[in-house]
Amino acid sequence: MPETARLLAERVRERVLAGALDLDREPAAAERLARNEVRRHVERTDAGRRVALAEESLLVRDVLAELTGYGPLQPYFDDDGVEEIWINRPDAIFIARDGVAERTGLQLTEREVRDLLDRMLASGGRRIDLSRPFVDASLPDGSRLHAVIPDIVRGHASLNIRKFSRRIRSLARLVELGALSAEAAGFLHAAVVAGANVLVSGATHTGNTTSVQ
């Protein structure tokens, strides 16, 4: 399925170039083109066999991820339970849920990793090359990207993405989750309102970034 999505995404890109469209500014156009291309593909390859709507919708999602998202990594960006994504090698890709790391079954190529990295940096006008072999950047959704390429690292580009949590938007939510007591939340709120200096520290995955945001 991923290979099919990549091929269909290339066909959509050809239509985009022909129509001089900007998919970043016209997300509705991206979805329309993806759905139309998937429908044509289904009609060509599955004549006489009824394709489940869910299967077709998944293919549309994968095509959109290739077009406007982060390809095979997009499901991890969409999953609010995933806190962190990192690529040690193209065939060693990990995520973290609730502070626990797990290796995914995803395997990419060197070219796919570099294409993903370039796509992430393009949104902020950043780049990475031999003259700038490492970079820290913010992604449009608030996630933080750190990346390095050879020869700073040996053999393969390395990426780390710390996601911005959509589940926690207030001190009240931190209290509800048990991360802070009501008294501590009240003190922190008062300190911020008063313009006091606040130092936030802790081990990885303990909510430092979430508390600051």
pLDDT, tens digit (0-9, with 9 covering 90-100), for 134-173: 999 989 888 999 999 998 888 899 999 998 776 667 788 8
Q: Widest CA span of the chain, in angstroms? A: 69
What domains sit in the chain, N to C, each tagged with a CATH number? 1-68 (no CATH), 75-162 (3.30.450.90), 171-212 (no CATH)
User: What confidence tens digit (pLDDT) does each residue in 23-52 have?
Assistant: 767 778 888 888 888 888 888 876 545 566
User: What confidence tens digit (pLDDT) does each residue in 46-77 have?
Assistant: 654 556 667 788 888 888 888 888 888 989 99
Q: What separation in angstroms does the CA of 203 have from each of 77, 169, 199?
A: 23, 21, 14
Q: Which two tokens stand for residue 58?
A: 């998944």
How many residues are present in the chain? 213
Q: How far is 126 from 147, CA to CA, in rounded Å?
A: 12
